[in-house]
Structure 1
């Protein structure tokens, strides 16, 4: 069975998470520079079977799109040109950064380790993927 890949898109860094091949477990994969994201996805999908991209959808509390949605829309257009047959599903990502930070605290990471924004992005992508898996 192919994997599902989740993307927590950011202006500078993007967190990536994937499922196992049975699509049961969500695991953080990495954080990549957003400028390298498309090439990372090309390389990853050339080695691993992926059937779906999940892309976080940042929203305000009133359900309106957040400011970063403009950047994500531009990324989605580019993504559909590079991967025209790959389905993309959007997943509400409200509170994932706060939840990721709390996860780091709960897991006992030291203050210096919690300042690692790349790790927060990777955990956020994992939370996006987990929420999708739970909803299925």
Structure 2
């Protein structure tokens, strides 16, 4: 079983019961992703290919609780901008961020690139 998402009132909730990396995540979405050419640029400008991204996502998803609210989805000429408010918890650490993910698509409508940008409050010093 892979990453589960359910929609309620414009919100998504993510959970993982058993991902079984790499087969459940990495091979399940080949029809949606240009796997040989896929690039993800993360919030720290780290660059990952499909295999590295699915390994990262599997590790994160198996230890985190996550949900979000949609703000806006915009599409223009092979690019989709997804704006969310994301809420996550890993152990006792809680986070609320605004995110923008930019998806670039191939001519045959598969994802070839994702860039992720975050906006968050300054941490309290205390």
Superposed pair shares fold, TM > 0.5:
no
Using structure 1 for the length normalisation, give the TM-score: 0.29
Give 1 or 2: higher helix fraction: 1
Using structure 2 for the length normalisation, give the TM-score: 0.30
Structure with more contact order per residue of length (Cα contacts < 8 Å, sep ≥ 6)? 1
Give 1 or 2: higher strand fraction: 2
